[in-house]
Amino acid sequence: MGADGSWRKIKLWAGVTDAEWEDWRWQLAHRIRTKEELAELVQLTPEEEAGIDAAAGRLAMAITPYFAQLMDSQKPYCPIRRQAVPLVQETAIAPQDLVDPLGEENDSPVPGVVHRYPDRVLLLVTDNCAMYCRHCTRRRVVSSTEQCLTRGSFQKALEYIRSNRKIRDVLLSGGDPLLLPDEQLEEMITMLRDIPHVEFLRIGTRVPVTLPQRITPELVAMLKKVGPVFMSLHFNHPKEITRRSRRAIELLADAGIPLGSQTVLLKGINDRLYIMKKLMHELLKCRVRPYYIYHCDQAQGISHFRTSLSVGMNIMEKLRGFTSGYAVPHYVFDAPGGGGKIPVSPNYVVSQNKNVYVLRNYEGKIITYVDEQEQLPVAPVSTPAQVFNNKT
């Protein structure tokens, strides 16, 4: 398995038509959920079998046929497979692991709303995803009911946003908002758009990666109609950028929807410079701007995915100056307990003494800069009226 179109050779999907395969609802209805189904696709390892058994009551296993056919059936360390198939390591709880690593529940004034930063809120509209990524930071709630925010809860969320005039930015997330029907999503966006002080709407989604069939012309036309809407995608590895996912991205980009990508740094998946650089380049070629590399959160059961901060900083140091600036995202650590995103980057200021700065460039060369502006006296600024009077 691995190439686009290889599903036609897989016994599990014998007789499936092209029209069915391209139907996103068919993909959802036929997600791989059991060990028996998965065993028809890959040669399961003992760690995977135990992980699938233990996933019940935790973060469920659900893999779309599209994403499943990208897995390497013989290599358990395939980056696609590692993100989709539970491992027994998920049952291990590290001392620093937290149920709610980002402290979202403490910052939730009403159901579905997380209000941490002064001018923006996170609106969790569903706990359903096309596929449940094994590194999910919101695993405490995602997959539990596969339900969307109730109409009553959504109305309370709207009332909260309306009553806080500082809120200008709303991010729809979950789960994955694009699993909602077009009509429901359009209604939500329209109601948010009608709030005068809401200037900026975003959708966080992974369906272009795990379920690209969901990006239909009808969905794109609706988003264009109710826009502008920004979209934050979630690509973690170059193998996720296929012909089919490119087609989905093209539909969005051609409609004028601004696209950014947020990547999670994952041990054994993308923690090598050549992989991360390849991913950033492929995203740019698809008109997706790399935005964040997230340090893997301290959620329970995902410590086997976490690297040290130094790994991320080393990748950033080897990106900046060695490739296009557009291909260099921000590396951020989302502080436990709700501390917010903290940029983490190599230190390019070697030393500072009064107005003399010693800096290091991307090649490691040392540059001394004397900031003369710090030594200049501050001159009084003339008002336009004074300038006019002086001229007369």
pLDDT value of residue 379: 57
Instruction: Find out whether 284 and 238 touch, Cβ atoms under 8 Å.
Output: no
Total Cβ atoms within 10 A of residue 9: 11
Q: Does residue 97 contact residue 300 with C-beta atoms inside 8 Å?
A: yes
| Average pLDDT of the residues of the chain | 92
pLDDT band, very low/low/confident/very high, at 234 (cuts 50, 70, 90): very high
pLDDT tens per residue, range 328-374: 999 999 988 888 999 998 889 999 988 899 999 999 999 999 988 76
Q: How confident is the model over 49-67, as pLDDT tens digits?
A: 999 999 987 899 999 999 9
Which pLDDT belongs to residue 143?
Answer: 80
Tens of pLDDT, residues 262-297: 999 999 999 999 999 999 999 999 999 999 999 999
- Of the two residues 1 and 112, the one the predictor is more confident about is 112
Longest dimension (CA), the chain: 90
Given the residues 78, 129, 286, 296, select the one marked as catalytic. Answer: 129
For the ranges 41-45, 304-308, 335-339, 349-353, the lowest mean pLDDT is seen at 335-339
The catalytic residue among 168, 193, 287, 341 is 341
Q: How confident is the model at residue 8 (pLDDT cuts 50, 70, 90)?
A: confident
Query: What count of other Cβ atoms lies within 10 Å of the Cβ of residue 385?
Result: 8
d(CA 183, CA 206): 20
Pick the more confident residue, 57 or 46: 46
Q: What percent of the chain has pLDDT over 70?
A: 94
Q: Which of 33, 35, 75, 120 is catalytic?
A: 120
Domains detected in the chain? 6-91 (no CATH), 105-343 (3.20.20.70), 347-392 (no CATH)
Known catalytic residue: 297? yes
pLDDT band at 148 (very low <50, low <70, confident <90, very high): confident
* Residue 116 appears among annotated catalytic residues: yes
At 247, the amino acid letter reads R
Percent of the chain whose predicted confidence (pLDDT) is above 90: 79
Q: Does 151 qualify as catalytic in the annotation? A: no
309's enclosing H/E stretch is helix 309-319
Mean pLDDT of all residues in 25-52: 96
Evaluate whether 110 touches 130 at the Cβ level (below 8 Å). Answer: no
The active-site residue, picked from 176, 297, 306, 331, is 297
Quick one: pLDDT at residue 389? Answer: 53
136 catalytic residue (yes or no): yes
What is the pTM for the complete model shown? 0.91
The residue annotated as part of the active site, out of 136, 148, 286, 296, is 136
**Which residue is catalytic, options 33, 35, 75, 116?**
116
Judged by average pLDDT, the poorest of 121-135, 137-151, 202-216, 226-240 is: 137-151
Residue 54, pLDDT score? 92
The Cα angle at residue 20 between residues 17 and 24, in degrees rounded to 5: 155
Residue among 72, 117, 287, 320 flagged as catalytic: 117
Q: Does residue 127 carry a pLDDT above 50?
A: yes
Distance of CA 111 to the CA centre of its chain: 22
